[in-house]
Structure 1
Amino acid sequence: MRWYRPSRMDARAPSGTPSLEAQRGRVRTREERPAQVRQGLGRSPEGALSRPTPSLRLPRESESSRAPRRSRIWGAGLARTWEQALGTGGAMDGLGRRLRASLRLKRGQRGQSQNNPGEAVTEPERIQEHSPSSFAGGQHFFEYLLVVSLKKKRLGDDYEPTITYQFPKRENLLRGQQEEEDRLLSAIPLFCFPDGNEWAPLTEYPRETFSFVLTNVDGSRKIGYCRRLLPAGPGPRLPKVYCIISCIGCFGLFSKILDEVEKRHQISMAVIYPFMQGLREAAFPAPGKTVTLKSFIPDSGTEFISLTRPLDSHLEHVDFSVLLHCLHLEQIIQIFASAVLERKIIFLAEGLSTLSQCIHAAAALLYPFSWAHTYIPVVPESLLATVCCPTPFMVGVQMRFLQEVIDSPMEEVLLVNLCEGTFLLSVGDEKDILPPKLQDDILDSLGQGINELKTSEQINEHVSGPFVQFFVKTVGHYASYIKREASGQGHFQERSFCKAVTSKTKRRFVKKFVKTQLFSLFIQEAEKSRNPPAGYFQKKILEYEEQKKQKKSRERL
């Protein structure tokens, strides 16, 4: 069975998701697609907010005795690229040093001693940053609201992105906190305008909503939610970006918050302050709960804004509809298979929204495991050298840089063209990675009733379910093979775990999967916990075990 791939998504407001049926239609030709807003930069009118996947805590390399060691021969050159891209003066000197250190070739074998606890960065966007302690618990909705604008450089006609508005302004920070804040704020503009500095004033520009992720050495992540648009006014103008920095991955909320910020900015920047201040003072709602904000807008009066957090937290981080829209089901399964074995995956698209949504959706298919390698939803032009990295990565690149990517020295890469729904490069064995029976099960489950799905929640649950079930059937018995000491510390019995898998094809896959960092990090967390976490994955494991018991009972009768 093949999934019919309809035309690319039309423009839509980020607050809602149309049904797949409403999104259908014939595939548009290249001539029928939205005109480019300027030469060399393809744009399509997109507005849906991209959604990062939740992740496990990524331990320091010295902590990860099970995680495979990765070569970083490419590190020095890429670190220099980062320094050139981000600047080498002032606060960015420290960032350059950290990136260079993080990408340095580390010698030794798996399970090296814990003598270097500071060298823990495993991905180029993993910037060392520590927010003030008041934000450590993630109790606030956000850390910053920023406006990033394009300013002409002193020399030449190029523009550079610059933060022109920041809320809140931090004062009385300790020296270390101030340095970390400076590094964070210096890096953000590059990701708000990842498509280079060759801009010109425009009279028309379709708004785009996308996101980026900055990852700390301890695995904690800050997410940048961006809305890029052309400000109101007469004559040609330059785009600007509203960027909300938060530790929270709850994307329906931030989509609505960006709508409110954009609406207020059209009146005055002064109107934004009371709204954002009220948001900072509000408690972040529990799953399924709603927080209501009272806000006054001149000439409109008082408004009440309700922000509801989804009940199922493992699906609040993603929207699968765009990925379904761009690719066949078989292709999505092959991308999943490549990610499971931690291969290099590059997504190509014209628009930032499509790019970041699809890469976040692909990473979310790995639940309950988390991608722990290089992960850049939209690679800035100055960091295209990332695609030469010999270690695993999952990155998004704008279609305008296709030739640079093709010309780069790459090995064993899956290059996905989201505009045409094709693989430009592949290893060739993607169809053979997963056990055939389980692969067919995923395909059948995805295809059943998919045309009747209408809401984003229905789509997310329908798409996520078969992939979660795949992990339940292959590694769902992991907890039975963690032997614990009297202290409670667990030790995973890998050999016995693999032997317990009766199917030969399934066991062949499991033996490969247990060697990945995906599984290693997951099992490390399980070893520390006396009981399996009471989450969605554990719920599905218990349901599956109960189904097997009932099946055995029926067979005895």
Structure 2
Amino acid sequence: MMTSRLFSQCFENPTAPRDSIGIHSGYSNIEQLLTLAWFSAPDLNAAKLLLAGRASRRRAVPVPRGCQLSCRDMSDAVKRRRRGQKERRDRWSATPVTNEHDDGPQGAFKRISTMWSSFRRGIRERSKAEEPEPPEPVGPTAADSASKQQRYASGQYFFEYLVVVSLKKTKDSNSYEPQITYQFPKRDGMVRKQKEEEEKTLKAITLFCFPEGISWAPLTEYHSETFSFVLTEIDGSRRNGYCRRLLPGGKGARAPEAYCIISTLACFGLFSKIFDEVEKRRQISMAMIYPFMQKLREASFPAPGHTVEIKSFIPESGTEIIRLTRPLDSWLEHVDFATLFNCLTDEEVLLVFAAAVLERRIVFIANELSILSQVIHAVAALLYPFTWQHTFISIVPEILIDVVMAPTPYLLGVQKHLLDLVTDQSDLLVVDVSQNKQETFLVSIGDEASILPPKLKAELLEVLSGRQKASGVEELNRVVSDTFLHFFVRTVGHYASFIKYGATGEHGVFDRRAFCKAIDSKTTRHFVKKFTQTQMFDLFIQEAEQQQPGPQQGIFHHKIREFQDKKKKEKTKKH
């Protein structure tokens, strides 16, 4: 990416102008950023310690808000940061460690999960109590508004709002900083508390749209890129941020700008196509964007496999019909496995998968924001039907780089110019997914190759080698997802047989010991014993225990039944 190249050139060239590039030293909503970045319940304590570490360093090295550090000062800043790392490591080591080997029903993960659920309920109840009841709708206008609110709440709207983040000159210098210059639609009718939270969110969005932390300058060339991030509220609800950064049309040097769509819907491919239309209209005129977005907002979000048509007028082209189609496999619509396998070999993907399955700390390094966000979402999708439960930040803003110090599991995307602040860590996996890399695994624990059972690992590699025959993105996604889904079917697909139910209406109880003993292969049993200690497995089982006995729906359970039927037929043939 051009900005990263400029950063590298300036860093390597000590004769560059002092104000040509720099690092933002302060941000007024660090706490809000840590909340909005995906921190799960077990990681909240670590996040608080992270804030304490930042505050400690700031007290030791006071820097006036809004000032810039020049390139010549950067080496000193890095040295000061590293001198403070030992203190922060000591603070991390003082963090109470969860007993991951507690097999009892009151295990550590269950206690944390229960506490967090109660905390979330308390937050929601207090919010409801504090907010005044909305007035009764009067007249057709109020009725239409209520209908639209209900429609959005049901997930039928494409997006919540669009914001334009532009780079504006600061008053006290010639540097540029990101600012929201437009929001569509305006969020009116919110109570005071909602308005305050929304303002904090909007301020945080600017940093996720321009996370590099460098001082921008007007450019004559810039390749547009699309990436995504996740905003997580205190009650656990999540919203997806889709961002397209581009260079607006015109002559001469000009500053890039970002278009960011906030939506509860996870469908990267669909929103990427929407941004193609936005960028095409932006090159004509800014005014051409908003009629298109209004039409999009009025359209219903299509069901999986269906298409919605948007009519939009463009000067000299007339009325165009834009067709937006959702993938048939809706649970894969936020995933692009092609980028993951373009960046890593099959063997390297399995090493990353093995580390993710055991919920380790993993950092992905690249220059391009689009590659970081697509790779990290693809890795999380490999875990289906399980869900990553810990810190998940697809693009870490420079101001939050200290999150790499956290002792809890995480999946992080970090830009390459911050690499030196990551590689001096241990007990984690640092994966370089950038183009023209010299080495893929910059830091590793060393046992990643021995985590997966050898026989199943060989089968995974054999099946993945056939993905070259996939004719398109959707087929590739299906082949890859089926491959890893089958791995979980083979290893833990028999879990339902070991959930014992008592009287009618009571929740089931999972027999972990008997579940592991039922596995014939020693290597597979060894892997499963480790996997059952993860939070993703624990929460999966908790949900299964709360369901009523009987056949379950969903693609995972469908694959389990297919596998079990196949085994029965093979046994019948042998006899």
Give the conservation status (yes or no) of the 8 Å contact 1:59–1:218.
Answer: no
Tell me, yes or no, if the aligned pair for 1:453 and 1:459 is still in contact at 8 Å: yes
**Structure 1 CA distance for aligned equivalents of residues 155 and 212 of structure 2:** 31
Closer/same/farther in 2, CA of residues 465 and 261 from structure 1, 3 Å limit = same
Amino acid in the other structure paired with 2:532: V
Contact residue 145 and residue 243 of structure 1 kept, 8 A: yes
Residue pair 1:148, 1:242 contacting (<8 A) in 2 also:
yes
Asked if 1:434 is matched to 2:452, the reply is: yes
Shift of residue 80, structure 1, vs aligned partner? 6.8
Which of 535, 555, 571 is the equivalent residue of 1:536? 555
Aligned partner of 1:311 in structure 2 is 328
**Are 1:180 and 2:153 an aligned pair?**
no
Greater CA radius of gyration, 1 or 2?
Answer: 2
The separation in 2 between residues aligned to 1:203 and 1:435, in whole angstroms, is 52
Say whether 1:76 aligns with 2:57: no
SS in 2 for 1:38: helix
Query: 1:419-461: CA deviations, max 9, x gaps?
Result: 325101110000111111111111111113x333331112212
Shift of 1:536: 1.6
One-letter amino acid of the structure 1 residue matched with residue 177 of structure 2:
E
Structural mapping, 1:98-497, within 5 Å: 109-112=108-111, 135-407=152-424, 410-419=425-434, 420=437, 422-448=440-466, 450-484=467-501, 485-497=503-515
The Cα shift of 1:73 comes to 5.0
Distance 1:209 1:116 in 2: 34
Cα pair 1:132 1:177 within 8 Å, conserved:
no
Aligned to 2:8: 40
For 1:39 and 1:427, locate their aligned partners in 2 and report how far apart those are by CA, in whole Å: 30
Check the 8 A contact 1:60/1:218 in 2, yes or no. Answer: no
Query: How many angstroms does 1:294 deviate by?
Result: 1.6
Take 1:60 and 1:149, find their aligned partners in 2: how far apart are those partners?
Answer: 31
Deviations 1:190-235 (A, max 9, x none): 1000111311111111111111111234433211111111111111
Structure 1 Cα separation of the partners of residues 234 and 274 of structure 2:
29
**1:7: which partner in 2?**
none
Say yes or no: does 1:555 pair with 2:555: no
Contact 2:50–2:406 (CA under 8 A) maintained in structure 1:
no
Q: Deviations over 1:224-275 (max 9, x none)?
A: 1111111111111111001111110112211111111112222333322222
The aligned amino acid for 2:231 is L
**CA 1:107 to 1:428, structure 2 compared with 1: closer, same or farther past 3 Å?**
closer
Please give the secondary structure, in 1, of the residue aligned with 2:215: coil
2:6 partner letter = R
> Does the 8 Å CA contact 1:230/1:240 hold for their aligned counterparts?
yes
- Deviates further, 376-385 or 151-160: 151-160
Q: Tell me which amino acid in the other structure corresponds to 1:404.
A: L
Give the root-mean-square deviation of aligned CA atoms.
3.1
For 2:55 and 2:563, the matched residues in 1 are separated by: 47
Give structure 2 stretches of 5+ with no counterpart.
11-37, 59-63, 67-91, 99-107, 122-130, 132-147
Describe the SS at the equivalent of 2:6.
coil
Kindly tell me: are residues 397 and 59 of structure 1, through their superposed partners in 2, closer, same or farther at Cα, counting changes over 3 Å? closer
Instruction: Assess, with a 3 A threshold, how the Cα gap between structure 1 residues 107 and 364 changes in structure 2: closer, same or farther.
Output: closer
TM-score w.r.t. length of structure 2:
0.77
Partner of 1:8: none
Q: Secondary structure at the match of 2:168?
A: strand
Change (3 A) 1:82 1:520: farther
Q: Secondary structure at the match of 2:244?
A: strand
Length-normalised TM-score, structure 1: 0.79
Higher RCO structure, 1 or 2 (CA under 8 Å, sep 6+): 1
* Alpha-carbon separation, structure 1, partners of 2:458 and 2:385: 21
**1:460 alignment partner AA:** N
Percent pairwise identity: 53
Contact 1:159/1:197 (<8 A) preserved: no
CA positional deviation for 1:35? 10
Q: How many residues align?
A: 476
